[in-house]
Amino acid sequence: MQVPWNFRIGIVILGDSAVGKSSLLHRYTEGSFDDSRQSPLGIDFKVHYLEFDPRIVIKLLLWDTAGQERFRSISKSYMRNSVGCVLVFDVSQRQTFERVRKWHQEVVDYVQPNPMIFILVGHKCDLTAQREVQKEEGVALAKRLNMETYLEVSSKDNVNVNETFETLTRGIYEHFQKGKIPCRENWYGMTVGAPVETELPPTKKPGCKCG
């Protein structure tokens, strides 16, 4: 079914392999945690709708990329047509946190001159005993890299999953309202004012004899 929307926003999910990117997207769009899934193609795509007050409907195009280096060239094309990035690390694997700066720099370099709004996710916060990165470190890094915010998330226990996508989308929308997101031709990161799509049959014009 076609749903009317006011804005269409592309969001890419990035981060090292096995930090839980696919699980996060699955939890957000399907509402469940599935331990058995694997995407062999290195890319997955979902559509999700969000509604803000007063009745602003946002169509999210959500791109799940694979963390492994061999998939990087595929991931790049999705970076280019996104305006938002969920940058994920695993709080129980310190090296994934240490690579966040590198991911951030790579994305910024690659998408310029287009803007990219980031949110930092410390994932698998349910793994309390194995934790190797503290919340304060995530907060400080998100601030230093000028990201929207830092959230501690668990797809397994459904903690802060909706908040991640809602906070990022709201941040993008606010940037747009402040004129910080230009709408360029041939760039699909953010599309505005799309026609309202309905499934209603076309109305007959008065005096029309046909049909």
CA distance 78 to 62: 10
* Chosen residue from 22, 96, 154, 160 binding Mg ion by CB under 5 A: 22
The Cα–Cα gap between 35 and 54 comes to: 38
| Under rule CB under 6 A, residue 124 binds ligand GTP | yes
Q: DSSP state, 101?
A: H
> Looking at beta carbons only, is 154 or 164 nearer to ligand GTP?
154
Closer residue to ligand GTP, CB minimum distance, 58 or 85: 85
Question: In whole angstroms, what is the distance from residue 97 CA to residue 99 CA?
Answer: 5
63 touches 116 (CB < 8 A): no
- Give me the 151-190 binding string for ligand GTP, x by CB under 6 A, dash otherwise: ---xxx----------------------------------
Instruction: Answer yes or no whether residue 104 interacts with ligand GTP by CB under 6 A.
Output: no
> Three-class SS of residue 152?
strand
Tell me which of ligand GTP, Mg ion, none is bound by residue 189, counting a contact when its beta carbon lies within the kind-specific cut-off of 5 to 8 angstroms. none
> Under rule CB under 5 A, how many of the chain's residues touch Mg ion?
2
Provide φ and ψ at 77, rounded to 5°.
Answer: -65, -30
Residues that bind Mg ion (CB under 5 A): 21-22
